[in-house]
Amino acid sequence: MMDRDEFVGRFGGVFEHSPWIAEQAFDNGRIVEPLRAGPVHEALCAEFRAADHDQRLGVLQAHPDLAGKLAIAGDLTVESKSEQAGAGLDRLNADEHARFTELNTRYMRDFGFPFIIAVKGHDKDSILAAFETRVSNDEATEFETACAQVEKIAGFRISALLPEA
């Protein structure tokens, strides 16, 4: 049986810089052996959903801007760096980078957290199209959309760590 420290060490980064979600899932008895991707994902998402608005906002705010200053400085988490590179966001030309920067600035100003999208299966063009659409959402819609994307990212990260069945 995996103990709490082992579990948090392995899954604490699934929700960006938010190990408290894995801690609470373990403490609340949501984690059962054998560990499988689906049940672990659901357990962590249940804790995220049970959190109050400010806690969920903190998780959103822990995410980096897409193709933003952390990426340029090389300060992304290993997971975020790999995810952004897989979508080609590490290879933007100057015009594309300028557009992402402009949208990131507007989005952060309007919503108070960075634009979040599960980039797996996307490329820079489809991400930009989603960004262009979602930047016009109302605050409540975008908060829920971003939360759903965070859960999707967590699912991809858990699936990389555990078997499905």
Tens of pLDDT, residues 28-66: 999 999 999 999 999 999 999 999 999 999 999 998 877
In a domain, 128, yes or no: yes
Name the burial class of residue 14, with classes exposed (0-12), middle (13-18) and buried (19+) by CB atoms within 10 angstroms of its CB: buried
Q: Identify whether the C-beta of residue 89 lies closer than 8 Å to the C-beta of residue 71.
A: yes
pLDDT at 70 over 50: no
In a domain, 37, yes or no: no
Percent of the chain past pLDDT 90, that is, above it, reads 72
Mean pLDDT of the chain: 90
Q: Exactly one of 17, 41, 53, 63 is catalytic; name it.
A: 63
In a domain, 138, yes or no: yes
Report the C-alpha gap between 124 and 130 in whole angstroms. 10
In a domain, 40, yes or no: no
In a domain, 35, yes or no: no
First to last CA, the chain: 18
- Crossing angle for the helix pair 19-27 and 37-50, to the nearest 10 degrees: 100
Q: Domain limits at 104?
A: 66-150
- CATH assignment of the domain containing 80: 1.10.3330.10
In a domain, 78, yes or no: yes
- For 19-23, 62-66, 85-89, which range has the lowest pLDDT when averaged over its residues? 85-89
Closest CA to 56 of 67, 44, 40: 44
In a domain, 137, yes or no: yes
In a domain, 92, yes or no: yes
63 part of the active site: yes
Q: Identify whether the C-beta of residue 44 lies closer than 8 Å to the C-beta of residue 143.
A: no
Residues in CB range of 124: below 8 A, 6 or more apart: 87, 88, 89, 91, 92, 96
Tens of pLDDT, residues 107-161: 999 999 999 999 888 988 999 999 999 999 999 999 999 999 999 999 999 999 9
pLDDT at 75 over 60: no
**Total domains present in the chain:** 1
